[in-house]
C-alpha cells in the first residue's frame, strides 16, 4: 500500500512540474510577441464567413474621439498624417495630463491607417495592446492615448 501511495505522489509531482514548465513557456511566448505589435487575426470572422467579402472594404474617413475630455470631436481624414498630443501644433490637441507633447501619429499608407507611438511616457495602446512599432489600425478599433480614446470610422 505504501508503494502505491509513493508512486501516485511521484506521478502527481511530475504532473505539477510539467504544468509549471508549460505555464512558464506560455508566459515567455506572450512576452516575446507582446512587443512586436503583431496581432494574430482570428480564424473566422464574427459573421461566420470563412472567406472575406471581396470589394466591400471600407476606408476610414473620420477620426472620432469616443472617450476623454474631447469626446464627440470628429476630424475629417485626408492624405496628411494626424499628430496627437498636447502641443499646440498637433492636429488633435489633447488637454490630458497623461498625454505627452507629441504622443502619437496616425499615418495613411494606401487605404490603411497606421498608428505609431512617438516616444511617449505612458504609451499608446491599440485595443489593450501597447504600440511599439507602426501598427495598422482597423476601423472601429479603439486607440488609447492617455485617458483619451479615438477610433477610425467610415
**pLDDT tens string 69-128:** 888 899 999 889 999 999 888 899 988 888 889 999 999 988 899 999 998 888 899 988
CATH topology of domain 62-153: Tumour Suppressor Smad4 (2.60.200)
pLDDT, residue 45, reads 46
pLDDT 10s digits, 6-52: 999 999 999 999 999 999 888 877 766 655 555 545 444 455 555 55
pLDDT, residue 68, reads 87
For residue 15, report the phi and psi dihedrals to the nearest 5 degrees.
Answer: -65, -45
CA atoms within 13 A on the CB side of 33: 8
Q: What is the DSSP letter of 67?
A: E
User: What Rg value do the Cα atoms of the chain yield, rounded?
Assistant: 22
CB-based contact 23:113 (threshold 8 Å): no
pLDDT 10s digits, 143-152: 999 889 999 9
Q: What is the DSSP letter of 41?
A: P
Record the pTM.
0.61
CB neighbour list of residue 152: distance below 8 Å, 6 or more residues apart: 60, 62, 63, 64, 77, 106, 113, 137, 138, 139, 140, 141
pLDDT, residue 56, reads 56
Amino acid at each position: 500500500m505504501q508503494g502505491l501511495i509513493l508512486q501516485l505522489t511521484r506521478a502527481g509531482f511530475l504532473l505539477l512540474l510539467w504544468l509549471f514548465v508549460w505555464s512558464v513557456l506560455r508566459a515567455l511566448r506572450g512576452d516575446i510577441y507582446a512587443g512586436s505589435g503583431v496581432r494574430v487575426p482570428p480564424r473566422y470572422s464574427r459573421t461566420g464567413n470563412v472567406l472575406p467579402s471581396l470589394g466591400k472594404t471600407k476606408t476610414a474617413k473620420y477620426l472620432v474621439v469616443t472617450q476623454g475630455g474631447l469626446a464627440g470631436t470628429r476630424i475629417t481624414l485626408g492624405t496628411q498624417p494626424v499628430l496627437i498630443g498636447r502641443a499646440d501644433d498637433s492636429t488633435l490637441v489633447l488637454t490630458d495630463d497623461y498625454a505627452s507633447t507629441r504622443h502619437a501619429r496616425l499615418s495613411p499608407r494606401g487605404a490603411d491607417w497606421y498608428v505609431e507611438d512617438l516616444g511617449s511616457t505612458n504609451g499608446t495602446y491599440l485595443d489593450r495592446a501597447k504600440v511599439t512599432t507602426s501598427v495598422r489600425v482597423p476601423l472601429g478599433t479603439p486607440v488609447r492615448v492617455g485617458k483619451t480614446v479615438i477610433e477610425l470610422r467610415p
